[in-house]
Amino acid sequence: MRTKDFAYWLFLAPVLIALTLVVVVPMLLGVYYSFTSWNGITTGEFVGFQNYIDLLKDERFLDSLWFTTKFSVVSVILINFIGLSLALIVTSRIKSSNLLRTTFFMPNLIGGLILGFIWQFIFIKVFASVGEMVGMESLQVWLSTTETGFWGLVILMSWQMAGYIMVIYIAYLQGLPKELLEASEIDGASSFQRFRYIVFPLVAPAFTVSMFLTLSNTFKLYDQNLSLTGGGPYNSTEMVAMEIFNTAFVQNTFAYAQAKAIIFFVIVAIVALFQVYWNKRREVEM
């Protein structure tokens, strides 16, 4: 098949049409709209960089960006730590290995919206009643303060995604050469040394994949945010994705929301590219 063949374009046509209409055209239109005062009904006029200047002074937007960053950093570290620990547990020779894999992975099959609702019940009703039983007042106010909302989101995401990351680490751990591990054991390496000098460097590629997945999932989080805290109290747990949604569909300032969405895209793209580059370089060095 050659690119000038009719068949080549016929095979590509459905996907090209769909991607163009669903992603490419809206993206280009979005860039254009972000320089106008469009509100969804009238086209609006060209306003240059006004929307971008405004959003730099928009505290609600900047707060959501900062909240999202904090949430992502804490979640990425926790999810990877728990995920790797779970992977090490289930790949050791234990009887319940298969059952445990199934269990830890299960939350990933259920949508973030529904998981958020389930955890809302846990935090609000179960935590409160346990708090009452043991006399800990701090357990009775979960999700009603910014702090508990933050940790609520972190707990929910760690519980959900650790099993997913575990599956990725398992795939790399099982690819480790057994002879190498046995040889080091015979040479008298402790299990910590084995982990630090053999397992860890060889599993490095898994970090690239896992960090990329966790970072992009946590930074773009919407469903769990909506169903667990709804952004409250007083928008203090509102993340960027939700802030953009509210700017567009609650406040009906489409062009302004679109400018925020473009900034959001630029951040996501830079972080993703930087991370892949950095991890690839580290892998080679190790």
Partner 1 sequence: MRKKKNWKLEILGVLLGILWLLPFYLMFVNSFKTKKEIFTDVTSPPEQWSFDNYITAFQELDFLQTLFNSLLITVSSVVLIIISSAMAAYALSRAKSRISTILFFMFVAAMLIPFQSVMIPLVTVFGQFEMLNRGGLIFMYIGFGASLSIFLYHGALNNIPKSLDEAARIDGANRWQVFWHIIFPMLKPITVTVAILNIIWIWNDYLLPSLVINKTGSETIPLKMFFFFGEYTKQWHLALAGLTLAILPVIIFYFFAQRSIIKGVSDGAIK
Residue 237 or 264: which CB sits closer to partner 1? 264
Window 154-213: residues binding partner 1 (CB under 8 A): 159, 163-164, 167-168, 170-172, 209, 213
Rounded CA gap, 153 and 175, in Å? Answer: 33
User: Site for partner 1 (CB under 8 A): which residue of 220, 232, 233, 235?
Assistant: 220
User: Site for partner 1 (CB under 8 A): which residue of 65, 76, 203, 248?
Assistant: 248
Question: Taking the complex as a whole, how short is the minimal distance between the CB of residue 212 and partner 1, in angstroms?
Answer: 9
Rounded CA gap, 242 and 253, in Å? Answer: 14
Rounded CA gap, 57 and 62, in Å? Answer: 8
User: Site for partner 1 (CB under 8 A): which residue of 11, 195, 197, 277?
Assistant: 11
Q: Which of 219, 205, 206, 208 is nearest to 73 (CA)?
A: 219
Window 88-127: residues binding partner 1 (CB under 8 A): 89-90, 92-97, 99-114, 117-119, 121-122, 125-126
3-state secondary structure of 190: coil
Task: Please give the helix or strand (H or E) that residue 260 lies within, else none.
Answer: helix 254-285
Task: Please give the helix or strand (H or E) that residue 214 lies within, else none.
Answer: helix 204-219
User: Site for partner 1 (CB under 8 A): which residue of 12, 62, 73, 136?
Assistant: 12
State both tokens at 53. Answer: 């200047």
The DSSP string of 169-189 is: HHHHHTTS-HHHHHHHHHTT-
What string marks each residue from 260 to 279 as x (binds partner 1 by CB under 8 A) or -? -xx-xx--xx--xx------
Question: Taking the complex as a whole, how short is the minimal distance between the CB of residue 274 and partner 1, in angstroms?
Answer: 12
State both tokens at 223. Answer: 């469903």
Window 24-43: residues binding partner 1 (CB under 8 A): 24-27, 29-30, 33, 40
**Sole window of 69-77, 142-150, 193-201, 223-231 interacting with partner 1 (rule: CB under 8 A):** 223-231
HSE at residue 63, side-chain half, CA atoms within 13 A, is: 12
Q: How far is CA 191 from the centre of its chain?
A: 32
# residues near partner 1 by CB under 8 A: 90
Strand partners, 46: 36
Window 52-91: residues binding partner 1 (CB under 8 A): 86, 89-90
Helix 97-105 / helix 146-173 crossing angle, nearest 10 deg: 140
Question: Taking the complex as a whole, how short is the minimal distance between the CB of residue 56 and partner 1, in angstroms?
Answer: 18
Question: Taking the complex as a whole, how short is the minimal distance between the CB of residue 281 and partner 1, in angstroms?
Answer: 20
Question: Taking the complex as a whole, how short is the minimal distance between the CB of residue 74 and partner 1, in angstroms?
Answer: 20
- Is 254 among the residues that bind partner 1 (CB under 8 A)? yes
